[in-house]
């Protein structure tokens, strides 16, 4: 096509130019050095991941100077039941498409049990589906799921045997334990707090976790998963429990944050949230 419009094609080119101007006006802010965008896909009733992750990355920023912004999409979930979890999974690709409109660098699928409800290893396909949806929307991004992050990080730190704490009803806790064991890690003990309402899970007191941890038999454990749920608050307890027990303490949130940082090519330098995010458990990537 000639670069000089003429004749009947001119109106179409004018319209195209107006559309381009409108698209530019509403386009995501251009990326700048020293700043990364993180997309979150969370259950609609989640009140914790959008507080704990930004706090962790605020500490990362304090240590490194690199800044992070968060951009969320939500999928309906009120009660942590098998049926509602599977319905949320069906909306994962749609949410990935929506959050990718912000031209994010990485997407965190922050509902561990929704993925685990599909059976061991399901995080691989979930991450692939969401990555494909973002790419097809014209904004490719790495995808990290909380289920995949916890499974992979346990292996990466060399944990062969763990204990874990969940807020779920016992059947879902057993399912989470089976998922972790499907990834090659033995679950020695799994505490179930028996809370089904997801908003109520977000109101649990992290200050109770050190006492729960003290009641576990950790003599054979290589690590403790203090919160196998992104909605159960745990950040304030991680360092306390790790210092007291001397074992690596992980949570769904810290494992997710760790993998998001690695997906961005950043070394973790977060204080007060356990050795994993302080950079003391896994060798730096050269």
pLDDT of 17 strictly over 80 = no
The whole-model pTM stands at: 0.85
Q: Is there a binding annotation on residue 113?
A: yes
Q: What are phi and psi of 177, to 5 degrees?
A: -60, -40
Predicted local distance difference test score (pLDDT) of residue 8? 34
Predicted local distance difference test score (pLDDT) of residue 257? 98
Q: What's the mean pLDDT in 98-118?
A: 90
The b-or-e profile of 88-107 (16+ CB within 10 A means b, else e) is bbebbbebbbbbbbbbbbbb
Residue with tokens 């995808």: 143
Alpha-carbon gap, residue 263 to 257, rounded angstroms: 10
Burial status of residue 240 (CB atoms within 10 A of its CB: 0-12, 13-18, 19 or more): middle
Instruction: Report pLDDT digits (tens) over 129-145.
Output: 999 999 999 999 999 99
Instruction: Report pLDDT digits (tens) over 82-106.
Output: 565 666 666 788 899 999 999 999 9
Instruction: Report pLDDT digits (tens) over 203-241.
Output: 999 999 999 999 999 999 999 999 999 999 999 999 999
pLDDT of 23 strictly over 70 = no
Alpha-carbon gap, residue 65 to 145, rounded angstroms: 26
DSSP of the chain, one letter per residue?
Answer: --SS--GGGHHHHHHHHHHHHHHHHHSPPPP-TTEEEEEEEEETT--SHHHHHHHHHHHHHHHH--EEEEEEEEE--SB--HHHHHHHHHTHHHHHHHHHTT--SEEEE--HHHHHTT-TTHHHHHHHHHHHHHHHTT---EEEEHHHHHHHHHHHTT-SEEEEEE-S-HHHHHHHHHHHHHTT-EEEEEEE----BHHHHHTS-GGGHHHHHHTS--TT-SEEEEESSSSS--HHHHHHHHHHH-S-EEEHHHHHHHHHHHHTT-----SSS-HHHHT-SSPPP-
CA 106 to chain centre: 10
Q: Is there a binding annotation on residue 118?
A: no
121 against 20, higher pLDDT: 121
Q: Is there a binding annotation on residue 230?
A: yes
Q: What is the mean pLDDT of the chain?
A: 86
Q: Is there a binding annotation on residue 198?
A: yes
Q: Which domains does the chain have, with CATH numbers?
A: 35-148+255-278 (3.40.50.12500), 150-251 (3.40.50.12500)
pLDDT of 35 strictly over 60 = yes
Neighbours of 200 (CB within 10 A): 15
Alpha-carbon gap, residue 179 to 187, rounded angstroms: 10
Bridge partners (DSSP) of residue 191 are 165
Predicted local distance difference test score (pLDDT) of residue 77? 59
pLDDT of 165 strictly over 90 = yes
Instruction: Report pLDDT digits (tens) over 63-88.
Output: 999 999 999 998 765 555 556 566 66
The residues that are catalytic are 111, 229
Q: What are phi and psi of 5, to 5 degrees?
A: -70, 145
């Amino acid at each position: 096509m000639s670069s000089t419009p003429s004749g009947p094609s001119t109106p179409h080119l004018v319209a195209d130019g107006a559309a381009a101007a409108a698209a530019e006006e509403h386009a995501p802010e251009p990326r700048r050095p020293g700043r990364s965008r993180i997309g979150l896909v969370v259950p609609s009733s989640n009140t914790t991941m959008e507080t704990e992750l930004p706090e962790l990355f605020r500490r990362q920023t304090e240590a490194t100077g690199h800044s992070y912004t968060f951009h969320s999409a939500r999928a309906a979930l009120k009660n942590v039941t098998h049926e509602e979890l599977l319905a949320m999974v069906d909306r994962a690709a749609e949410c990935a498409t929506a959050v990718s409109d912000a031209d994010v660098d990485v997407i965190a699928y922050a509902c561990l049990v929704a993925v685990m409800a599909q059976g061991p290893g399901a995080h691989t396909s979930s991450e692939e589906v969401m990555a494909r949806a973002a790419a097809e929307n014209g904004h490719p991004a790495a995808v990290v799921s909380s289920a995949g992050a916890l499974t992979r990080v346990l292996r990466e730190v060399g944990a062969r045997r763990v204990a874990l704490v969940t807020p779920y009803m016992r059947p879902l806790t057993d399912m989470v334990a089976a998922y972790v064991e499907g990834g090659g890690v033995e679950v020695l003990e799994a505490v179930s707090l028996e809370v089904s309402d997801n908003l109520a899970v977000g109101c649990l007191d992290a200050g109770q976790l050190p006492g729960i941890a003290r009641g576990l038999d950790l003599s054979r454990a290589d690590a403790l998963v203090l919160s196998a749920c992104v909605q159960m608050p745990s950040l304030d307890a991680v360092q306390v429990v790790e210092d007291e027990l001397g074992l690596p303490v992980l949570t769904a949130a810290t494992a997710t944050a760790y993998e998001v940082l690695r997906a961005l090519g950043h070394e973790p330098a977060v204080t007060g949230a356990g050795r994993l995010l302080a950079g003391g458990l896994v060798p730096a990537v050269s």
